[in-house]
Structure 1
Amino acid sequence: MLRKVENWHLDPSVLIGERQSDSIDLESILAAARRQLRFVLICAIGGLVLGLAYLQAEVPLYKATTRILIDKNQPAVVTKLLENGTTIQLEPMMLSQVELLRSDRIGLKVVDSLGLATDQSFLSAPYSLLDSLKSSVMEFVRSFIGSSEESSATMKFARPRGPDPRRQAFGILAENLSVARVGDSYILQVDFWSPSAEMAQRIVDKYADIYIADQLEAKDESITRARSALAEELEKARKQSVDAELAVHRFRSDNSLNNVTLVTLRQLELEAASLKSQYQQLLEEYQTTLQNQSLALTEARVVSQAPFPGTPSFPSNGLTLAIFVVLGGIIGTGVGAIREHRERFFRTSGQVRDELGLATLGMIPFIQGKPIEKKKNDRAAGEPVLIQVENSAYNWVEHNPRSEFAEAMRTVKVAVDLELQGKNTKVIGIVSCLPGEGKSLISANFAIMLAMHSCRTMLIDADMHNPGLSPMWAKGWERGLANALLGDFNPRDVLAHQSLPLRFLPGAIRNQHTLTRPVQPIAKMAELLISLDSKFHYVVVDLPPLAPVADVRSFVQQLDAVVLVVEWGSTARGFVRETLDSNRILADKCIGVLLNKVDMKRIKRYEHFGSAEFYNGRYKQYYQ
């Protein structure tokens, strides 16, 4: 019994692409990855192309680097002078130096020293792709309108400078300057990025020079302030010492010496000696500051001069291309996952079984037929009209009897014979859900295959709305099924095969639209099939598509079996299921499904290991 596969208790989780198991189906994931691999690779290659285009359009930037050491190992006298006996925490101090290098105090001095405020090559240089695009647009606009209003256009579209060119130049410096502490060391690294390698080197060296000069200036100011304060203190101590000496002399001259006055005198002499000692100590410190006035008191010095950047540091070609390729691959993977999620077409026999409960009678590869040149032959009166095949695809099995297509037609014959045992004339309908799925081509080849087995066969084109078979087998023929259903049947309307026991009744070709009476297919079709009952072993009916017209509902009562043709990878599974559910009589008579236009190279990607389709490639030697 090949009509249907028993499937009443089917777990929906077995549907390919719709597994609901708690465990991860690694085999399904790998199969999906194989199916989408080409798409992901295309996206990755697209990312590579975009990366190359980006590298071609992006502005190359050169990075110059210098390093400055903040040295705390100064001589004791310098440390005493600079720190004035206080303890400085190094971490906040290093962060303060970083902010100082970034400050406008240093930046504006660099601007003034290098004349950047008036350097148009510096002010207008593009530092990124966006800047480059803006500059290109501006240049295009200038060139476009420059012929009429060149001077005013230049003023209007020049790079905005702002109210202060120095501040604009400093803004560019600040955007492209990087200052950071090197680890936990006392070294600061200063980086500057520029489209010009020479400009980058000049700016970073100037930053180091001005920073050290600023440190020297600041230290000189501190020493000057400290010396001024020390001088004031020294003058005060000198006065106090002189006053103490004068007080001793006055006391000696004004008082006679006795035990009481001697004690007072001794106290005055001790106080004078103490003040004199303090004065001498301050005088020594002051003299020391004078001696160290010429010392380089700064704690900072350059430990690594900026070398000339010979090659651009940004963008990095390898890293940029790797990022674009990875991003392209990620996008491709995401879109591929969406494509897999939206995959709702018939790809395998397992999907046919699980969705429809029907057996797959065959998988027919896509056939690219060619037009057949016809020779004009004069037909004598009384001779039967012969079938004239217009395209080689419509008699493929006749010329390729060992092909996959022919084998699928033989499988359909076996299924029909098993299903309809005991019937003298078997009426088989070939139907599809949508137009263009290939039912007419399969009807023609199935009828030829039956005739090749010496079976008397009648092929009827029953699609009276849009016949697809008649133009390929009876081009220009004006009479056919429509006339037969109106009771105007003439045996000469049937075309014959030149060598096989095959007859063909075309559908309506031209005069269908000029018929004066409406066609009543139900009763007349029954009468026609009854008239054919004793003359043919098989009657193959090429039916209209199920979805757009209602003719199939009329014809299905007269059919013994139906074969459903589904286009591989094109017709949605849910749509086919719903269509059959709405035509229960036809569904009950359906003995199986033919998957048409199958891509035999891709089908292995849609099946699990061990399935019939997985080993499809090993059967090629049987199809010659």
Structure 2
Amino acid sequence: MNQPTAYPAGPNHLFHYTSDFISFGSILGMLRRQAVPLLVAGGLGLFAGIVYLQTTPPTYVSLARVLIDDGIAKSVDEVSPLAATLQTDATIMSQTEILRSERLARAVVIKEKLDEDPDFTNPPASLLAKTIGAVRGVVRGVLSVFSFGGGAQIRTDTAAMHEARINLASNILQANVIVERSGRSNVIVVGYSSYDPALAQRITQAYADAFLADQLEANFDATERATVWLQERLATLRKDSQEAALAAEDYRAKQGLSVARGELMSEQRLSDLNAQLIVAQSEAAGALARAEQLRKIVEMGPDRAAENLAMSSAPDQGPALTEMRTKYLNLSRREREATELYGAQNTQAVAMRAELSELAKSIFDEAKQLAQASQNEYEVKHASEQKLRSSVESASGQNTDAQRSQVQLRELQQRSEALTNLYQTFLARYEQITQQQSFPIAKARIISEAMLPLRPSSPRTMVVLLATLMLGLMVGGAIAALNEFNERFFRTAADVRSAIGAKFLGYLPSISVEPSKSRRKGLRDLWKEWFAKAQEWKTIAIERVKIRLGLQAVTDAPSGRAPMRRPLFNEPISQRELMSIAIDHPYSIYAETLRSVRLASDVLLQETPCRVIGVVSALPGEGKSTVSSNLAAMLANSGLKTLLIDADLRNRKLTRMRRRSKGVGLVEAVIKGMSWREVANLDKRARVVFVPTLLNRRMPHTGELLASVGMRRFLDSAKDTFDYIIVDLPPLGPVIDAKAFAPFADAFLLVVEWGSTPRELVRSILESEPAISSKMLGVVLNKAEIKSLPKFGTTGSGEQFFERYAEYYVKSPENV
């Protein structure tokens, strides 16, 4: 049991426990709590798996392996520009689709006559398949009933029926055939699943053979189609090539594009004219240079002209001028020498200068004639140049037209050459295909023949059992998770502390009460009695097994502890006994929890001489009246003067259970100012003074009565006599009576029904009633299933060790 400790009164000590951490212990607790749905769902799953194994006939699978060969004929593929190698994934996938195709399945059906084989068309079905088929039949029947219109006419002729059987067999074959690629290789695994191993082998081998035959037929057909196409194409190419060659020659003749020495005639003429023009331009330029030079010399005058001509090295001056220039240079040299030797006035020097003057005039005259001749020569050369230039321009125009025609001619020649080359290529390919047509090569080969299966491939016992078990556990887990999600009630002390942060004072066990004589036992009562007896039988059986196995002595338990005694009152008790359990069974867990309540009040209210404790609950029916009566009886039997007041003016359950009164009660005392002695009754057995509530009709303002001055006077008069005043108040949820009484109470004891009262409801009520929550003495969980507490407690919590506490909780001293 939790030992009560002092804590400050006030609202601040509530609502501060929060923990969302999911520990391993909480998971184990959840598994213990939800063991029943988990085990039931797992058992149902195993049962379903066993039923499936027993009702499902075994199936056998025969496998063959086909290699898509790399060394296939490529004659047809090379013709197509969209060819792809067989090693690509797309090609392998295409081959697998061919194996799954309806055409191949139809070929196998016809070859093996599977449409006439009853073992193939009507195989044994499992119970699941029969059930699904029956459901489908019912749905189709219902839909046919509600369908309107005549529908399509059914053909009944022999050909149609035969076609329908073949289609049915093809569908069955496609549904059970196995086609898959072996890893990343070029090997395709082909198989068939059947209830007959021999039939599975026969169909698998037939499928592989049909695939090879289809490949050969496909290659042969493709080669034949390619040969026909190539013949037509060769005729077309031959005709187009000849027409292109003739068109090129006709165009050459029309445009006069004659060729000599590898060039056109127009190109050769233009080349010659360009060479002549270059020579003429050179000669005209030389003539113009000589004429300009001589003209400039003549413009300088006789003296300067003779001197310049004498000093000039210009060619083509003529023999006369050359002779005079030489004579002028020699005479001029001699004149300079004579002048230097004999002076300028020397007769010989003067004569030489006169001779030089005459010679200069002669040179000047000759220079003028030479200049005129050079000018005439230049004009002739220039005229010849202009004429050649005109010829070149004319020839250039003619050559441009020829070049344009040459471009068109080249296009015609290129087309003719391309058609000729294509014709030669197709002709060579046609010859190759013609030679290869007689031996078509298959693109695949069988590398593993179909074998007779010796063991069934399905259903696999362990796989089915594990799968159904896991499925059942998953369903059970979903149910368990839903149950845990819906778990919003108080189960343990940790729930009390985490939800409302209040002091937890203990558990009050669930007690079976005998039904009244006026009421027959219902199914719920019978179920509770049966469950209680089953729990008792279970405990006795476990103890007997432990004794037989030597795990427990007959008289002593392990570790020297006494044998485990029953902590619960399994047999039903009467309503009267229910009101005095604490004094009838002082060693029980019920009495121990009430002693914890007293200890908490002694610690919290130790300075208060007379303690007024209000007993409240959140909802009706949580057992607060029973707790109030037993708490008062326990206090009274411990030597404390105790007054018990039934203040639940709307539901006087405490008064109805005790059935003793003086004809007046609490209402009369408060209204008329009577003392407690005038309305109280003494329970001699419980030693409790009880004030009932007697009403002939319902009162609309009960809260005002409990908060009145008369109520205060009544309590003040009782405080002088009693140590404890236990007040049974109405529930907090539906009415405000407890809130109205709060100023008169020293503390409140909150009674919460175990596994029934929502946590959020209690939290919201206490948060909205600070006058009550600030005086909260603690919380007791009533009607607790003690045997189930370990399922809800976390690892290491007190709920996990209730079996070890059992020797302290017994019904009576005689059992010790």
Tell me the equivalent position of 2:278.
none
Tell me the equivalent position of 1:275.
none
Distance in 2 of aligned mates of 1:321 and 1:434: 48
Tell me the equivalent position of 1:454.
639
Structure 2 residue 580 is matched with structure 1 residue 576: no
Question: 2:11·2:773 contact (CA, 8 Å) conserved in 1?
Answer: no
**Aligned with 2:719 (options 528, 533, 538):** 533
Structure 2 residue 460 is matched with structure 1 residue 316: yes
- DSSP 3-state at the match of 2:587: coil
Q: Which moved more, 1:583-592 or 1:342-351?
A: 342-351
Counterparts in 2 of 1:63 and 1:89: CA distance versus 1, 3 Å = farther
Tell me the equivalent position of 2:101.
103
Structure 2 residue 252 is matched with structure 1 residue 67: no
Question: 2:66·2:208 contact (CA, 8 Å) conserved in 1?
Answer: no
Q: Deviations over 1:147-172 (max 9, x none)?
A: xxxxx99x99x9x9999553443233
Counterparts in 2 of 1:162 and 1:587: CA distance versus 1, 3 Å = farther
Q: Deviations over 1:469-526 (max 9, x none)?
A: 2333228997643444453979686443243422323334x72349999983423433
- DSSP 3-state at the match of 2:172: helix
CA drift of 1:543 comes to 0.8
Counterparts in 2 of 1:597 and 1:553: CA distance versus 1, 3 Å = same
CA drift of 1:355 comes to 4.7
Distance in 2 of aligned mates of 1:618 and 1:548: 40
**Aligned with 1:15 (options 18, 21, 36):** 18
Q: Which has the higher helix share?
A: 2
Counterparts in 2 of 1:527 and 1:107: CA distance versus 1, 3 Å = same
**Aligned with 2:696 (options 499, 511, 517):** 511
Letter in 1 for 2:636: A
Question: 1:66·1:306 contact (CA, 8 Å) conserved in 2?
Answer: yes
CA drift of 1:177 comes to 1.4
Distance in 2 of aligned mates of 1:410 and 1:319: 58
- DSSP 3-state at the match of 1:618: coil
Tell me the equivalent position of 2:508.
364
CA drift of 1:124 comes to 6.7
Counterparts in 2 of 1:465 and 1:226: CA distance versus 1, 3 Å = closer
CA drift of 1:529 comes to 2.7
- DSSP 3-state at the match of 1:469: helix
Counterparts in 2 of 1:104 and 1:349: CA distance versus 1, 3 Å = closer
1:254-333 aligned within 5 A: 300-301=445-446, 303-308=448-453, 311=456, 313-330=457-474, 332-333=476-477
CA drift of 1:389 comes to 6.5
Structure 2 residue 39 is matched with structure 1 residue 39: no
1:172-571 aligned within 5 A: 172-183=172-183, 187-194=187-194, 199-214=199-214, 300-301=445-446, 303-308=448-453, 311=456, 313-330=457-474, 332-333=476-477, 336=480, 343-353=487-497, 355-370=499-514, 390-421=575-606, 423-474=608-659, 480-487=665-672, 494-508=680-694, 511-513=696-698, 520-521=705-706, 522-571=708-757
Distance in 1 of aligned mates of 2:771 and 2:137: 75
Structure 2: state its 5+ residue gaps: 145-149, 230-430, 519-572, 811-816
Q: Give the alignment's TM-score, normalised by structure 1.
A: 0.68
Distance in 2 of aligned mates of 1:536 and 1:10: 30
Q: Which moved more, 1:330-339 or 1:412-421?
A: 330-339
Question: 1:44·1:327 contact (CA, 8 Å) conserved in 2?
Answer: no
Letter in 2 for 1:583: E
Distance in 1 of aligned mates of 2:574 and 2:46: 54
Distance in 2 of aligned mates of 1:105 and 1:145: 33
**Aligned with 1:2 (options 6, 11, 29):** 6
Distance in 2 of aligned mates of 1:305 and 1:598: 69
Letter in 2 for 1:34: G
Counterparts in 2 of 1:199 and 1:496: CA distance versus 1, 3 Å = farther
Tell me the equivalent position of 1:248.
none
Question: 2:59·2:459 contact (CA, 8 Å) conserved in 1?
Answer: no
CA drift of 1:609 comes to 5.1
Counterparts in 2 of 1:431 and 1:3: CA distance versus 1, 3 Å = farther
Letter in 2 for 1:103: S
Distance in 1 of aligned mates of 2:662 and 2:162: 85
Counterparts in 2 of 1:138 and 1:10: CA distance versus 1, 3 Å = closer
Distance in 2 of aligned mates of 1:144 and 1:88: 53
Distance in 2 of aligned mates of 1:355 and 1:38: 20
- DSSP 3-state at the match of 1:53: helix
Q: Deviations over 1:556-575 (max 9, x none)?
A: 33323221112234333343
RMSD over equivalenced CA pairs, Å = 5.1
Question: 1:201·1:309 contact (CA, 8 Å) conserved in 2?
Answer: no
Letter in 2 for 1:395: S
Letter in 1 for 2:107: K
Structure 1: state its 5+ residue gaps: 20-24, 147-151, 230-281, 375-387
Distance in 2 of aligned mates of 1:610 and 1:211: 70
Distance in 2 of aligned mates of 1:605 and 1:138: 46
Letter in 2 for 1:554: A
Tell me the equivalent position of 1:587.
773
Distance in 2 of aligned mates of 1:104 and 1:145: 30
Q: Deviations over 1:449-484 (max 9, x none)?
A: 112113232222221212332333228997643444
**Aligned with 2:87 (options 75, 84, 91):** 91
CA drift of 1:299 comes to 5.9
Question: 2:609·2:723 contact (CA, 8 Å) conserved in 1?
Answer: yes
CA drift of 1:401 comes to 0.5
CA drift of 1:442 comes to 0.8
Counterparts in 2 of 1:325 and 1:492: CA distance versus 1, 3 Å = farther
Q: Which moved more, 1:523-532 or 1:442-451?
A: 523-532
Counterparts in 2 of 1:371 and 1:539: CA distance versus 1, 3 Å = farther
CA drift of 1:82 comes to 10
Question: 1:474·1:506 contact (CA, 8 Å) conserved in 2?
Answer: no
Question: 1:367·1:597 contact (CA, 8 Å) conserved in 2?
Answer: yes
Q: Deviations over 1:251-277 (max 9, x none)?
A: xxxxxxxxxxxxxxxxxxxxxxxxxxx
Counterparts in 2 of 1:217 and 1:193: CA distance versus 1, 3 Å = same
Q: Larger Cα Rg: Structure 1 or Structure 2? A: 2
Counterparts in 2 of 1:109 and 1:507: CA distance versus 1, 3 Å = same
Counterparts in 2 of 1:596 and 1:202: CA distance versus 1, 3 Å = same
Distance in 1 of aligned mates of 2:615 and 2:133: 67
Letter in 2 for 1:390: Q
Counterparts in 2 of 1:448 and 1:218: CA distance versus 1, 3 Å = same
Distance in 2 of aligned mates of 1:476 and 1:390: 18
Q: Which moved more, 1:523-532 or 1:105-114?
A: 523-532
